[in-house]
Amino acid sequence: MNLVVIGCGRLGAPYAAGMAHLGHNVLGLDTDPATVAALRAGHAPFAEPGLAEAIADGAVSGALTFTGDYLCAAAHADLFILAVPTPQMPDSERHDLSAVFMAVDALADALSTDALLVVKSSVPAGTCEKIAQCLAARRPDLTVEVAASPDFMREGMSIPDVRRPSRIVLGIQKHGRAEQVMRRVWATCLNAGVPLTVTTLRTAELCKLAANAYLATRLSFVNALADFSATVGADITALTEVTGHDPRIGSSYFTPGLGFGGSCLSKDLRGLTALATERGVCETTALLASVDRINQQRRRRAIDLAVGHLPGGPAGHRIGIWGAAFKPGVDDVRDSPALDVAAQLSTAGATVSVYDPAAMNTARREHPELRYSGSAAEAAAGAQVLMHLTAWPQFAQVDPRDLSPARTPLLVDARPGLDRLRWQQAGWAVSPL
C-alpha cells in the first residue's frame, strides 16, 4: 500500500523504514530540511541500531522516499500516519500538541481527496476527537477519518519492534474504513500472530500513557525498595532476583539505579498526571506524582554520594562522568538522568568531564558548558569521583587498574554492569546507588 509518515524523528523515521520493509510504498514527510536531506542521502539523522541500514535498504528498493512538501505527500497516498513529537510543555506537565495541530492544518490544506489519518504520536485522551473536529472545520468538502494507533517501540529496538511489534492497538470512530485499511497495512504482522485490539479513540490514546506510567512505577518502586533495603541491611540484588522469579512480577524493568529518563516515560507519566489532575482523580494523581518524585530523588542521591566524598564540597574538584545518553545504544539525551547529574555538579562548581560512546554531539548541544572527554579513561583521569551513570557495555570492559584517578578515588556505581569487587581490588572505594 501507499502511505505517508508525517514526522521523521525518533518515532517516524523507524516507523517509515519498518513499513517499507513490510512491503509498503512509504513516503516520509518532515519539515526540517536537514532531516530530509540526511534521509534522502540514506543516512540516519540520529543514532538508532539498524536504522541506517533499514533506510538504505528502503532507498535501494525504492520503497522508501522522503519529502518536505505536503502537496507532494498528499498526492502520494490517502493514508497518513502522524508521528510528530509531543514533548512536555516547558511551563506545565501537559503534552505539547503544537506540532500535532500544525501538521493537521498543513495536511488539511494540501488534501484534494478524502483521507484516513492515523495518529501514532503519544497524545492525551480526547486529542483525536479534537483533530477530527479541526479537519472537519478546515475542510468541510472532504471526509477525513481519524484513528489512533500509539506506538510501543523501544528506543534502541525500534526497527525490530516495528517489524514485529509486541501488540497493536487501533482506536476508531464508530463508522469508517480505518479498521479494514489498517488490517491490510499490518497484514504481515497479524499473520505472524501479533495481537490486535480494536477499541475506541480515547482508550487507544490511553494505552501508551498507561504502559509508560506502569513501567515508570516499576522502576520507582524498585528504587524505593533499594533505599529501604539499605536502611535494614538487606541485599537489594538478591531481593530483586528472588522477587523477579515470580512469574506475576518478572525481572524486566526491575533493576535499581539512577532511574528513568528519555522522552517517553517522563513526559507520558507527567502528561497522565496532568490529565488525572484535570479530571479530579486524586488517588491517581498522588500515585503518579510519587513515582516522579522518587525518580528525581535518585538523581539527588547520586549527587549527594559524590559530594560527600569531596572535602569542602564540589567546588574545584574533578568528577568524571561515564554516560550522557538516557540509556545505552542511543544518542538521545532528552531528560537524561546522567546529563542532569553532570550539569548539577558543574553548576555547584565541580570540574565535570563527560564521556559517552555515542551521545557526545547531542550532549554538547544540550549542555555546552560541560567538559567532554575523548575516552572513558580520559574522563576518569585525575578524577576524585567517577560516576557510572549510563550502562554502556563498553564501560564494563575497562580495567580500573589502567585508569589514573586522583588519590583515594570513589566510584559511584549507579547502573548495572560493573564488577564492583574488581574495582575495589584496584583501590577504588565503591558506592552503589
Maximum Cα–Cα distance across the chain: 75
Residue 212 sits at the vertex; the CA angle it makes with 209 and 215, to the nearest 5 degrees, is 150
> Could you give the CA distance from residue 122 to residue 130 in angstroms, rounded to a whole number?
14
Question: Are the C-beta atoms of residues 328 and 393 closer than 8 Å to each other?
Answer: yes
Active site residue 264: yes
Which of the residues 128, 189, 207, 264 is marked catalytic?
Answer: 264
- 8 Å CB contact between 82 and 120: yes
347-350's contacts with Cβ under 8 Å and 24+ in sequence apart are 348/303, 348/307, 348/313, 348/314, 348/315, 349/313, 349/314, 349/315, 349/316, 350/306, 350/310, 350/314, 350/315, 350/316, 350/317, 350/318, 350/319
Q: Which 3 state secondary structure label does DSSP give 420?
A: helix
C-alpha cell at 31: 519539515
Closest to 417 measured CA to CA, from 433, 402, 395? 395
Q: Give the C-alpha separation, 279 to 206, whole Å.
A: 14
Give me the active site residues, please: 264
